[in-house]
Structure 1
Amino acid sequence: MTRSDTPILELAPAKINLYLHIEAKLNNGMHSIDSLIMFADCADQVFVTPQKNITLDRYGPMSANLPAVPDDHVYKAAQKLAVLTNNKAGAKIIVKKNLPIAGGLGGGTADAAAVIRALGKLWRVDISDDLKRNLAKELGADFHVCLENKSSRVKGIGDELLPLKVPHDLSAVLVNPLKTLMTVEVFSVFRKEVHINQTLDIPSSWSDDSREFIRQIKELRNDLTDPAISLCPIISEVLLKLGSSDGCMLQRMSGSGATCFGLFVDHERAVNAAEKIRSNNLDWWVTTTKLNSKHV
């Protein structure tokens, strides 16, 4: 293998919404949001190498139910980047899918952001702010934060990112009952059944102590939880199992679900909790992870 054929690897880590407040509906029909997003150290892997055309192959433990290649966010992102930059080069794209799809973890959008970072290197393209805005129109509200891949407070329609100083290596257990939830369906229920909740006070700064930070997060909420549970009732069971785990300080759903997380101060307790939940629910996806890891 020549140096030019060595794959460029970009990770697409799981995106975790520690809180998610849904705010006013905008003229374009979308809602503005306020969310604190951190990234886990578990991730999909995106590889790119040069070739004449753009192709996409997918494999891995969570690849079985991915959409057809032309409908895949990764393929769309690559094609869109080529058009917007008038790039005639191709790329062989391979995605190892390790994370549940449609699970509230950023999923296809995180993978699309990773392929944009990788193709930017391969094609030597500067990913300008204008380019980001054009790509986000097709790739969704999480695209901006997934592209930056840093802990952020996210506002607006996902396009306002405020960098944060938050604890590193926060221990968490992620659980998905392997039920897919489409964001558009959850928002549809939200719009029909839920009034905009009263705005909560967001801390002006976040503690760098893990225990106190979790207490701060606990005062907030995910406004999509009830709509998601109405579509996927097993989420309630997942939250109950996390909340009853020894050492779990907070259990909550991420994004539009169905993945839920539990936050722990003690990593060994997180590992024990994950093992117990996994052994009693063999058909669920369960993993221990660290958020905002120094090693990712």
Structure 2
Amino acid sequence: MAAIEVFAPAKVNLTLHITGQRADGYHLLDSLVSFADVGDVLRIETGAGQGTGQSAGNGAEAFAMTVEGPEAGDVPLGGDNFITQMAARLWTGGPLRFHLTKNLPVAAGIGGGSADAAACFRGLSFLAGGLDAQEPRIRAQLVELGADVPMCVRSAPVHVGGIGEDLIPVPQMPCWPVLLVNPRVSVPTGPVFKALVQKRNSPMAALPADVSDGPRMLEYLAAQRNDLEPPARAIAPQIGAALAAISATQGCALARMSGSGATCFGLYEQAAEAEAAAAQIRAAHPDWWVCATRLGGAARAAPQLIRATT
């Protein structure tokens, strides 16, 4: 038996330009993505019993799954969960048991189920002795499960293209203090994309030559955009309220929505500014999800062995 834990950091779309739409309906992305030092934690145990299926290879329902944590209430179990779907696609070993500590809001534009599925992939890769996310069959499986999954598998700063499968690492990007705010409204991705009137928009400007230059990068990011923000705000006006609240805090260098929403973020140069902003917004909106952290979740993304095979 073995047990491992895998951190699933929150995804933050610093930019999100929609540059087209394929004939099959998938949208083309041009996005700069980083990952925050807050997220879910997935525990995977081998040889720990099964779910309702007959064997671990018979489908998502064959894996045991439990969930706890402050955001556990909205997590689907069984075949509807991305974690067990990932295992059903790629795991050919014995029984597995999953336990998810859910800290991130669901359907919030910061990875959520995709981050958890990606953590599952990294864990299964560790247990199997290495799975290649770029191998064509596996790459297709990851994209089919969700366009955000390949970038979340990497869980490090990346320039994303295609429908989410074209990834160019951006390893020197600053790890700014970041404030994440979700006004407690669920915004499903499908309706937001459907409400996007203009499907063919301009791509991001070329990245600065030195992406490690924090002030220059903040200036660059301010000149980019999230094309899904206007349709998301039309569907959920609370997003506008969250952005206004973040923008009004002292030291906020950039406020923007992440992904398809509803989570918004603010970037700061000092951690104390992000923490003070979080306290200010919590006091004004105690029902919102508010978290002050920093970018750089990749440092914790590798699976950690808790108990070795005996």
Q: Which residue is equivalent to 1:127? A: 132
Give 1:251's match in structure 2, choosing from 237, 250, 255: 255
SS of 1:64 mapped into structure 2: helix
Identity %: 35
Aligned in 2, Cα 1:295/1:160: closer, same or farther, shift over 3 Å? closer
TM-score (norm: length of structure 1): 0.92
Unmatched 5+ residue regions in structure 2? 51-62, 301-310
Aligned in 2, Cα 1:295/1:120: closer, same or farther, shift over 3 Å? closer
Asked if structure 1 preserves the Cα contact closer than 8 Å seen for 2:10 and 2:110, the reply is yes
Asked if structure 1 preserves the Cα contact closer than 8 Å seen for 2:15 and 2:221, the reply is yes
Unmatched 5+ residue regions in structure 1? none
Aligned in 2, Cα 1:183/1:206: closer, same or farther, shift over 3 Å? farther
Q: Which residue is equivalent to 1:222? A: 226
Asked if structure 2 preserves the Cα contact closer than 8 Å seen for 1:168 and 1:294, the reply is no
Which residue identity lines up with residue 112 of structure 1 in the other structure? A
Q: Which residue is equivalent to 2:291? A: 287
- Distance in 1, matches of 2:22 and 2:199, equals 15
SS of 1:93 mapped into structure 2: strand
Give 1:118's match in structure 2, choosing from 113, 116, 123: 123
Give 1:146's match in structure 2, choosing from 130, 152, 160: 152
Asked if structure 1 preserves the Cα contact closer than 8 Å seen for 2:6 and 2:119, the reply is yes
Which structure has more relative contact order (CA 8 Å, sep 6+)? It is: 2
Asked if structure 2 preserves the Cα contact closer than 8 Å seen for 1:74 and 1:115, the reply is yes
- Distance in 2, matches of 1:10 and 1:200, equals 32
Asked if structure 1 preserves the Cα contact closer than 8 Å seen for 2:106 and 2:112, the reply is yes
243-252 or 23-32, which deviates more: 23-32
SS of 1:248 mapped into structure 2: coil
Mapping for residues 188-203 of structure 1, pairs under 5 Å: 188-190=194-196, 193-203=197-207
SS of 1:278 mapped into structure 2: helix
1:79 maps to 2:83: no
SS of 2:173 mapped into structure 1: coil
Give 1:207's match in structure 2, choosing from 211, 216, 225: 211
- Aligned-pair distance for 1:133? 1.8
Which residue identity lines up with residue 60 of structure 1 in the other structure? G
- Distance in 2, matches of 1:126 and 1:199, equals 32
Asked if structure 2 preserves the Cα contact closer than 8 Å seen for 1:165 and 1:206, the reply is no
- Aligned-pair distance for 1:55? 1.1
Asked if structure 2 preserves the Cα contact closer than 8 Å seen for 1:56 and 1:93, the reply is yes
